[in-house]
Amino acid sequence: MKPTLKTFGLVSAGLFLAFGRYPVSWLVSSRNRSAKPARLRASNRLFIKSPTGNTLHVAIEGPEGAQPLVLIHGLNGSLQHWFYQRKFLGDSYRLILIDLPGHGKSPAPASLAVKDLCRDLAAVVSQLSLEKPILYGHSLGAMTVMEYCSSYPDVAKGIILQHCSYTNPYTTCQASWLVEYLQEPVIRPYLEYSKKHPLMFRILTRMNYMNGLSLLLHRYIFFKGEQSAAQLRFSSRIAAFCPPEVTAEGLLRCMDFDMKGKLSKIKAPCMVIGAVDDRLTRAYAGKHIAKNVSRGEFAVVEGGHMSLLEHSDKVNDLVGGFLNRIK
């Protein structure tokens, strides 16, 4: 009897370590009836080298000759995060989807400083000969779009900024007083340590994805709780397969970001989207951006930092309305 119970316990533990993400995702998710997100393969893919030393994987889809729309995801993500927006916009726009350096299929970065990501975006626009593109960024992608449009104010036809800060994002998150206090004595040394020991952290992130621990963290950091189990697993998997040293470097470089004195240089029509329960970027940061750019408007949606998955219909309605207004 005892060996049977012991064997059962070992088998159960092994199964949970390997497949715990499934019951965890079911327990902490809602019955969101959105289509199950999946990896999409673009019809045209290429790699673009930038003067910064970065090489970017770029996917292109949609009708040739249509209005170009460039989409840039956030830190610890990939172009696969745009699943619902690709479905919504793909028939009407020429979509150019960028994997940030070190993310998705882009090789390891030479630099993740936002100023260099801006130069990377300039290289994509130039090498693809994009005429008056619309730029749509999420989180770090939106920070990159802001930096680009302040440096090249006459290039973009319009911009969409979703869930982003105008300064060091550690100062505009939930409990920012605590995060700021810990930034130098705790957060920076931890991130530097994780950069020096990537193999250990890579093993931990993969294991924690499989057993479900990272899904718990992902749920409470990036979502409100109205996401489906499939959306939570989809987003968590993308994060788990982003190299930890890349995530750490990106978080370090975010500390240097500051657009406070440059927002007025952004001349293109600009929609800023915030979320009611975004713990990483509070909605007031988006309001500040919209108020201080030349032609800004602000909208808020339900959900958390990943509302582009959690409340994709509402986000797409806002995006579609803005795109119609700037035609």
**Residue 40 to residue 62: CA distance in whole angstroms:** 13
Which of 24-33, 128-137, 177-186, 223-232 is predicted with the least confidence, judged by mean pLDDT? 24-33
Range 77-96 average pLDDT: 97
Is 35 within the bounds of a domain?
no
Give buried/exposed letters for 201-237 (b at 16+ CB in 10 A, else e). Answer: bbebbeebbbbbbbbbebbeebbbebbbbbbbbbbbb
Q: Which residue range(s) make up the domain with 253?
A: 2-30+40-325
Confidence of residue 11 (pLDDT cuts 50, 70, 90): low
DSSP assignment letter at 23: H
pLDDT of amino acid 1: 43
pTM for the full predicted model? 0.95
Give percent above pLDDT 90 in the chain: 91
pLDDT of amino acid 7: 74
* Nearest alpha-carbon partner for 255 in 114, 84, 157, 126: 114
Range 143-152 average pLDDT: 98
Q: Residue 245's domain is classified under what CATH number?
A: 3.40.50.1820
Amino acid at 207: M
Ramachandran sector of residue 65 (left: φ over 0; alpha: ψ -120 to 50; beta: rest): left
Q: What share of the chain is helix, strand, coil (3-state, %, to 5)?
A: 50, 15, 35
pLDDT in tens, 308-322: 999 999 999 999 999
SS3 state of residue 291:
helix
What six digits make up the tokens of 203? 């093993």
178 — phi, psi (to 5°)? -75, -45
Sheet holding 94-99, edge to edge: 44-49, 55-61, 94-99, 68-72, 134-138, 158-162, 270-275, 296-301
**Residue 274 to residue 305: CA distance in whole angstroms:** 8
Asked whether 247 and 238 are in contact (CB, 8 A), the reply is no
* Nearest alpha-carbon partner for 190 in 241, 237, 249: 249
Average pLDDT, the chain: 95
pLDDT of amino acid 309: 97
pLDDT greater than 80 at residue 13: no
Total tally of structural domains belonging to the chain: 1
Give buried/exposed letters for 80-89 (b at 16+ CB in 10 A, else e). Answer: bbbbbbbebb
